[in-house]
Amino acid sequence: MNTLTQAINVAPSDERCAKARESWRSSTVRKPIRAALGDMAAGLETCMYCGESRGTDIDHFDPIARNPLRAFDWLNHLLACSTCNSHQKRDRFPVDEDGNPLLVDPTSEDPFDHLLLTLSLGIYSPLTPKGKATIEVCGLNDRGLPRGRMQARRVVGLALRAWNEACEGNRSGEMLEHVHTVREQPFADVCQSMLRQAFSPGADVVFGDSPDLLALLRKPELREALLR
Ligand SMILES: [Zn+2]
């Protein structure tokens, strides 16, 4: 990878972007990178931006158009669906007035420090300027994604209650199956957000219509099985 970056670096500055794109397109490292990202992604290799669709593309978080020297930087690669990669985020990479990135970097930051998911609506609200830019650039509240998150919340609720019944009946095989159902769901962010909000100050209000689910989300055994 260093050799490839070096080859881009020695190109004249106005040719670096084209050189990086060409090297990336013809490189054999894309296949192992794609495989490694697939192993890291939640659920069935879902897109690291929307959490809904299968990740098919390797996205450059810091776009090649802006930073060709990061074309082969492992920490700059994310698994994305083609909609998020080619139509939504594209080459957009907003920065603040000091040049610091305004997109949440999921490889080094906790998205929930910047974004709050309203579970009953499936909608993200920003907690920080980074959160605001991320919602806008990634279209997190567009494309029917809120509806998909609401559906994910229902499926997670059903699976967790079924897990509890199996737990009370000492049926460990069934318990594992229900955990598997949750883990392989699209919108893994919904379950992760539920687990986090179960211990937030407003938890009793957030789970006001389902206190049994709140109790389940606080169970250490279940949390251990579901927290990434
Ligand atoms: Zn996507």
pLDDT tens digits, one per residue of 115-134: 999 999 999 999 999 999 99
What separation in Å is there between the alpha carbon of 203 and the centre of ligand 1?
A: 29
Residues 49 and 148 in one domain: no
Residues 159 and 143 in one domain: yes
Q: Which residues pair with 95 in a beta bridge?
A: 101
Residues 108 and 221 in one domain: yes
Answer with the one of 37, 63, 93 that is the final residue of a domain: 93
What separation in Å is there between the alpha carbon of 218 and the centre of ligand 1?
A: 30
What separation in Å is there between the alpha carbon of 31 and the centre of ligand 1?
A: 19
Answer with the one of 61, 77, 93 that is the final residue of a domain: 93
Residues 84 and 103 in one domain: no
Residues 43 and 27 in one domain: yes
Whether the predicted model's global pTM rises above the 0.85 cut: yes
For residues 64-80, average pLDDT: 91
What separation in Å is there between the alpha carbon of 27 and the centre of ligand 1?
A: 24
CA distances from 175 to 48, 183, 194 (A): 27, 13, 19
What separation in Å is there between the alpha carbon of 226 and the centre of ligand 1?
A: 22
Residues 18 and 125 in one domain: no
**Total domain count for the chain?**
2
Residues 66 and 28 in one domain: yes
User: What DSSP character marks residue 169?
Assistant: T
Residues with CB under 5 A from ligand 1 (ion): 47, 49-50, 81, 84
pLDDT at 1 over 80: no
What separation in Å is there between the alpha carbon of 43 and the centre of ligand 1?
A: 13
Residues 101 and 86 in one domain: no
Radius of gyration of the chain (CA): 20
User: What DSSP character marks residue 88?
Assistant: I
Phi, psi for 148 (deg, rounded to 5): -60, -40
Residues 54 and 116 in one domain: no
Residues 124 and 53 in one domain: no
**Around Cβ 88, how many Cβ atoms within 10 Å?**
20
pLDDT in tens, 170-218: 999 999 999 999 999 999 999 999 999 999 999 999 999 999 999 999 9
What separation in Å is there between the alpha carbon of 86 and the centre of ligand 1?
A: 10
Query: How far is residue 85's CA from residue 117's CA, in Å, rounded to a whole number?
Result: 22
What separation in Å is there between the alpha carbon of 2 and the centre of ligand 1?
A: 29
The pLDDT assigned to 17 comes to 87
Residues 78 and 18 in one domain: yes
pLDDT in tens, 129-166: 999 999 999 999 998 999 999 999 999 999 999 999 99
Answer with the one of 93, 110, 125 that is the final residue of a domain: 93
Residues 140 and 81 in one domain: no
- Joined together, the tokens standing for residue 197 give 């909000």
Host domain of residue 49:
1-93
